[in-house]
Amino acid sequence: MKERMTRLRAVRKLIKNNRIESQENLLGLLHQEGFVVTQATLSRDLKLLKVGKISDGDTGYFYSLPGEEEQREAERAYINDFLRGYISIDWSGNMVVIKTYSGHSDAVALAVDTLGLDDVLGTIAGRDNTVFVCLREGITGEDFLNRMRESIPEL
């Protein structure tokens, strides 16, 4: 299966170059491009990309991407949430633990997810002040931290 970021780029390209009215249509186009994806995964991808449906004023609705400025603004908001909420980052093997200020674990986990790092399999936000990040096999905590610093130079 192709990587998440490759799939997200394909979704952007398909929406940009086609009039797509439903997830079913988009799933079909993705399958033609060689992506094996479920409707639930596609739904999460659309949310992550901030895809909306707009009216054509006549026959119905179709998917639309936000402008580049809106995307940068949204990404900056997630980065600010991360910076505001995290205390420390440590790791063992392919498991990273991010300690957060009380009540910030959800926002920090969402920020990590939103950055769309290929090395991250997933995050789990603790109830209050810890985020666990599971990395792909062979990726170290140091690799993760370096990639985070590429996305968040202030880190």
pLDDT tens column, 37-95: 888 889 888 888 888 888 877 788 888 887 766 667 777 888 999 999 999 999 999 99
At 66, which amino acid appears? P
pLDDT at 128: 85
Residue 124, SS3?
Answer: strand
Question: 111-146 burial string, b = 16+ CB within 10 Å, else e?
Answer: bbbbbebebbeebebeeebbbebebeeebebebbee
Query: How confident is residue 30, by pLDDT bands cut at 50, 70 and 90?
Result: very high
Maximum mean pLDDT: which of 59-68, 110-119, 125-134? 125-134
pLDDT at 69: 65
Q: How far is CA 146 from CA 62, 86, 95, 130, 155, in A?
A: 38, 16, 15, 20, 10
Q: Which fold would CATH assign to domain 4-64?
A: Arc Repressor Mutant, subunit A (1.10.10)
Higher pLDDT, 55 or 140: 140
Alpha-carbon distance of 112 to 117, in angstroms, equals 8
Q: In sequence order, what are the residues at sequence separation of 6 or more whose Cβ sits closer than 8 angstroms to the Cβ of residue 53?
A: 61, 62, 63, 64
| pTM value > 0.75 | no
CATH of domain 74-151: 3.30.1360.40
CATH 1.10.10.10 range(s) for the chain read 4-64
CATH 3.30.1360.40 range(s) for the chain read 74-151
Alpha-carbon distance of 21 to 95, in angstroms, equals 40
Q: What is the pLDDT averaged over residues 130-138?
A: 95
Report CA Rg, the chain.
17
